[in-house]
Amino acid sequence: MTDTDLGFLKQVKERTQSEFLNLRWEGSFTDYLGIAHQQLEVIRTSYQRLYDMILSHGREEVSDGRSVSYRYKFFADPFGMGEDAVFGLDATLARLVNIFKSAAFGYGPERRIILLHGPVGSAKSTIVRQLKRGLEDYARRPEGALYSFRWRVEADEAGRLKSRESDKFACPMHEEPLKLIPAEFRGELLRDLQAKAQVPYRLRVEGDLCPACRKVFWDLMQKHEGDLEKVLSHIEVYRLLLSEKDRVGIGTFQPKDEKNQDSTELTGDVNYRKIAIYGSDSDPRAFNFDGELNIANRGLIEFIEILKLDVAFLYDLLGATQEHKIKPKKFPQTDVDEVIIGHTNEPEYIKLQNNEYMEALRDRTIKIDVPYITRLSDEMRIYERDFNKKKITGKHIAPHTIEVASMWSVLTRIEEPKKQDLTLVQKMKLYDGRTLPGYTEDTVRELRQEAAREGMAGISPRYIQDRISNSLVTDMNEQCINPFMVLNELEAGLQHHSLISSDEQRSRFRELLSVVKDEYEEVIKNEVRRAISSDESAIATLSSNYIDNVKAYTQGEKIRNKFTGKLDEPDERLMRSIEEKIAIPETRKDDFRREVMNYIGALAVEGKKFDWRTDERLRRALEMKLFEDQKDTIKLSALVSNVIDKETQEKIEVIRGRLINSYGYCQVCSKDILEYISSVFARGDEKEE
């Protein structure tokens, strides 16, 4: 072993030991009371702790022009560097956090099942997974500390107070130490603490001890003749670390085959080995309080595919929800404090609505719809996280590859607009925050309101991920994958897609692929135009000439010819050749030119100088004009010709260099894109002049 290895192991040892000692706190019940007086947050309920955990990561305001909501940074996955981040669901997550807040204040949702409902792949499991990881992390931070207790007991002649294995008996349900104070006196203590509280909600420690601890408590009360102080001297309080893997405070339940699962998985079962020791299966020491509802006490329990549960499980679930009590076999009702959250898909929820025997469950459920993303930029972030330079080695992903796949997936999820002058692609762009003439934020809000179930159907992100992955490995000799490869993969997979229920739906998805191809074609046409005409000095010169002529025209002056030195009339041909590129009709040219000069004048008043880059319409017109002027010197059909003179070849290399440096293309896909654009011009889709 090298010195480097030894040094590394020493660092690991020191950091591990330091963290262990920092989190390992043990003390008496009196010590814990001191902590509770100084840090009231230690006695929060499960919902209060969950809500505070989310807030501890911060939030930022999000305004839609009329109302203000919040984006919670917790769901950006601060634990996994964004690997599990949830994108595009800010409104959904804000509704969920509001439910947690209401439950923290005791307004009712704490007695409900929170049901995340949505199509497959809409991030329901991811949201719950983040909540569980967040609670684990929060319990390890000073502000998230919580505590439970153990009993220190000695064997007496009857062997009543301890098992044969140990003289310490930890509460199997990790209960709050203040439950050791009888309920009739507990209220006075809590009122005293609440008077000093800095927390916004009411402190609550409700219910009785679990059957196992209750047994030990009353045996000790009998031994010490009712002296509570002596009973509490047997208590050792310790810091509780929530952990899903260790089944401490976080539980997960997944339905299985009915023959291999019963309700004891939720509420615990008899330990038959210990019956011989304690003589009865109704002795709490002969019972394992290790069901998922038991071990999730003080934290959270996740029910995977909750609506597939057998009816026998629902009775325990309903009791834990409404009454905060569970009924272990042969024991009285036992108090629990935990967040109950489940998730399900659309078919199961429809079945629930149609089942009259499930009325009690429906009445105790708060449903949160978790739709697919309908914002293009957010959808792209999902795939950019999975397919990027760090993760994909040896292959280049051409520009717009992720974008076109995302575009198609979003188009499958949004409904056709009811406005006849609005296309589906335009609607998608409006959702993405882009502006279109005649459409405002109010319009976008109306579009969303008239399509209330938008995002609850369509293509899952998993399908897109699978097809992109397939594109990457189909031909290992390919150095680069481009949008056309991915679009072909998406189309090929539709034939065997298990979630497409009809030929009509499959046909619609194929039509949308054609729409995306057309949109992509327009994008790359513009990029090639810009690459050909991206000489900024030439555009600046053209802009200056245009502005000089417009100024002379609007002021009724002449302009000096820089070659002859004579005063000439403004160049109408130059001005119209630019204005026509942005569809300014002859009848509107005077108004447009005055608008340009008024805008320049307003900038001058503010001490600013006009820049052609800041005016989107003028910039595009100048680029198109310059492209038109320059493409006469290099016919696009020559881009892939085998017989190219040296001068033309040099110009082509300049264009490819601009595509590579400015737009992210590589040597392979820059050649492919020019080849494709040349074929577009060759078939007459766009005429060369």
Task: Write a three-state SS string for 455-508.
Answer: CCCCCCHHHHHHHHHHHHHHCCCCCEECHHHHHHHHHHHHCCCCCCCCHHHHHH
Range of the domain at 181: 142-369
DSSP annotation string for 532-598? HT--HHHHHHHHHHHHHHHHHHHTT--EE-TTT--EE---HHHHHHHHGGGT--GGGHHHHHHHHHH
Residue 86 located in a structural domain: no
Structure token pair of residue 33: 């009371």
Residue 240 located in a structural domain: yes
Q: What is the pTM of this model?
A: 0.83
Burial class (CB in 10 A: 0-12, 13-18, 19+), 343: buried
Query: Rounded mean pLDDT of the chain?
Result: 85
Q: Do residues 364 and 322 make contact, with C-beta atoms less than 8 angstroms apart?
A: yes
Q: How far apart are CA 677 and CA 652, in angstroms?
A: 13
Three-state SS at 374:
coil
* The predicted structure's pLDDT at residue 141: 94
Tell me the sheet residues that pair with 287.
270
CA distances for 472 relative to 19, 44, 104, 405, 635, angstroms: 42, 50, 47, 14, 34
Locus of tokens 């009709």: 585
* The predicted structure's pLDDT at residue 564: 75
Three-state SS at 326:
strand
Q: How far apart are CA 612 and CA 627, in angstroms?
A: 16
Structure token pair of residue 132: 């569980």
Q: Do residues 682 and 675 make contact, with C-beta atoms less than 8 angstroms apart?
A: no
* The predicted structure's pLDDT at residue 500: 79
In sequence order, what are the residues at sequence separation of 6 or more whose Cβ sits closer than 8 angstroms to the Cβ of residue 581?
Answer: 620, 621, 624, 625
* The predicted structure's pLDDT at residue 374: 93
CA atoms within 13 A on the CB side of 460: 17
Q: How far apart are CA 540 and CA 557, in angstroms?
A: 23
Q: Do residues 53 and 134 make contact, with C-beta atoms less than 8 angstroms apart?
A: yes
* The predicted structure's pLDDT at residue 301: 96
DSSP H helices, 105-227, are: 124-139, 183-195, 211-223
* The predicted structure's pLDDT at residue 258: 63
Residue 419 located in a structural domain: no
**Total length of the chain:** 689
Locus of tokens 């509420």: 267
- Pick out the chain residues at pLDDT < 50: 156-165, 686-689
Residue 124 located in a structural domain: no
Residue 164 located in a structural domain: yes
CA angle 586, 588, 589 (to 5 degrees): 70
Residue 77 located in a structural domain: no
Residue 506 located in a structural domain: no
In sequence order, what are the residues at sequence separation of 6 or more whose Cβ sits closer than 8 angstroms to the Cβ of residue 589?
Answer: 575, 576, 579
Burial 592-621 (b: 16+ CB within 10 A, else e): bbeebbeebeeeeeeeeebebeebeebbeb
Tally of domains in the chain: 1
Residue 221 located in a structural domain: yes
Q: How is residue 244 annotated by DSSP?
A: T
